Structure 1
Amino acid sequence: MGILGKLSFKDQTFRLREDAILDATTRILADKGFDLMTMDDVAGEVGISKPILYKHFKSKDDLVGAAMIRLIDGAIDFLEHLPQQETAMGRLRALLAWALRVRLDGGLPFLPSTSPHVREMLTHNLSYVTRVFKLNGILKGLVGEAKKNGDLDAALPDDVILFSYYSRTCDPAVEYLRLYAKLDDERIVAHMLDVCFHGIAARA
């Protein structure tokens, strides 16, 4: 039985509405950004009143923080449900592919990289920071393991690899490939994975 099945009908309704609110928030953030998004936008997108919205989230900062926490939780959950026999390199590739697909579906707003206010707000959100440290720790472990296996360049510092990896999730090439090269989403994901892990130089 899933989590919803253990809740009362009232609690199930509350949880489902909250998910709908976070879905709408993510879509609006991807389209308009933090500064232009309003609570009215979110309430209108979900089809609820602002007082009901404020029962779930008391401010725009709380709402955006919850959306970003859900995103990090999704990444951690994805990693935890990969087959145990998957290699470290396979896990890194799979997570990047997941993140790119979420982004192409409009579900991955890169607010910390585009909004100083959001960066500041998130650094004071303990739940968000805790999850970011957890995800970063998992990925750092995978990078170390992939180095030992000879799948990543052992001469590169871990942070260089990690931040290069993170940057691929917000690389504007994704939008350019969709808009100008007219590539479908799966080809975009495949090419971005190749560029991330193999570069653009000719292979021997």
Structure 2
Amino acid sequence: MSIFGKLSFKDQAFKLRENAILDAATSVLGSKGYDLMTMDDVAGLVGISKPSLYKHFKSKEDLVGETMIRLIDGAVEQLAQLDDIASPRGKLAALLEWALRVRLDGGLPFLPATSAHVRDMLMRNIKYVTRVLKLNGQLEKLVKEAQKKGEIDAALPSDVVLFSYYARTCDPAVEYLQKFSKMGNEDIVRHMLQVAFQGFVAGSATP
């Protein structure tokens, strides 16, 4: 049974509107960034008044925090669905593929790498930090397993691999390729995965 089946009609409507608000915030953040985003932008996109928006989220920081938490939760849930992939590098590749598709569909990168203010704001959000630490621990474990199995160069410090992996989820090349190249999303994902795991070496196989 879904969570909605346990809620009253009023609570269901409230939750659905909250999800719509988070969708709108994701869209505005993707197009404008945090500094230019306003609560008016989000309310207008959802089609509600700003006072109604504040019934769900008390501030812009609160809204952005919940938006990023939802993204991290999505990554954790996606990773949990990859148990049928035996290879740790295969799991990392599959999760990166999911992240790239989220980006191409107008979602957000894993890390708010472009804004020190956003980073500082999120680091004060205990709920967000807890989620990030959970995901980071799972990915760090996969990186070390992949290195132990020889799937990723064991001579590289695991932190270098892990943070380079995070960087691929934020790579602006995704948007540039989508906007300026003639490639479709499937080709963009395929080529970005190859660059992430094989670099630019000729004859490299896909992950």
TM-score range, shorter chain: over 0.9
The separation in 2 between residues aligned to 1:83 and 1:111, in whole angstroms, is 24
Q: Which residue of 1 aligns with 2:115?
A: 115
The answer to whether structure 1 residue 36 and structure 2 residue 36 are counterparts is yes
SS of residue paired to 2:27: helix
Contact 1:29–1:109 under 8 Å retained in 2: no
Q: Which residue of 2 aligns with 1:54?
A: 54
Deviations 1:97-138 (A, max 9, x none): 000000011111567211121111001000000010000000
The separation in 2 between residues aligned to 1:82 and 1:16, in whole angstroms, is 28
Q: Deviation at 1:198?
A: 0.6
Residue ranges of structure 2 left out of the alignment (5+ in a row): none
SS of residue paired to 1:186: helix
The separation in 2 between residues aligned to 1:109 and 1:90, in whole angstroms, is 20
The separation in 2 between residues aligned to 1:36 and 1:109, in whole angstroms, is 18
Q: Deviation at 1:87?
A: 2.1
Q: What RMSD over aligned residues (CA atoms) do the two structures have, in Å?
A: 1.4
The separation in 1 between residues aligned to 2:136 and 2:111, in whole angstroms, is 18
Runs (4 or more) in structure 1 with deviation over 4 Å come to none
The separation in 2 between residues aligned to 1:194 and 1:95, in whole angstroms, is 14
Deviations 1:2-47 (A, max 9, x none): 1111111111111110000000000000001111111111111001
2:164 maps to amino acid: S
Q: Which residue of 1 aligns with 2:74?
A: 74
Residue ranges of structure 1 left out of the alignment (5+ in a row): none
The answer to whether structure 1 residue 13 and structure 2 residue 13 are counterparts is yes
The answer to whether structure 1 residue 91 and structure 2 residue 64 are counterparts is no
The separation in 2 between residues aligned to 1:111 and 1:12, in whole angstroms, is 30
SS of residue paired to 1:200: coil
Q: Which residue of 1 aligns with 2:178?
A: 178
Contact 2:79–2:91 under 8 Å retained in 1: yes
Query: Alpha carbons of 1:153 and 1:109: their partners in 2 closer, same or farther (altered >3 Å)?
Result: closer
TM-score of the superposed pair, with normalisation by structure 2: 0.94
Q: Deviation at 1:85?
A: 4.4
The answer to whether structure 1 residue 3 and structure 2 residue 3 are counterparts is yes
Among all aligned residue pairs of Structure 1 and Structure 2, give the percentage whose two residues are the same amino acid: 68
SS of residue paired to 2:113: helix
Residues matched between the structures, number: 204
Contact 2:71–2:110 under 8 Å retained in 1: no
Contact 1:34–1:111 under 8 Å retained in 2: no
Contact 1:111–1:118 under 8 Å retained in 2: no
The separation in 2 between residues aligned to 1:22 and 1:12, in whole angstroms, is 15
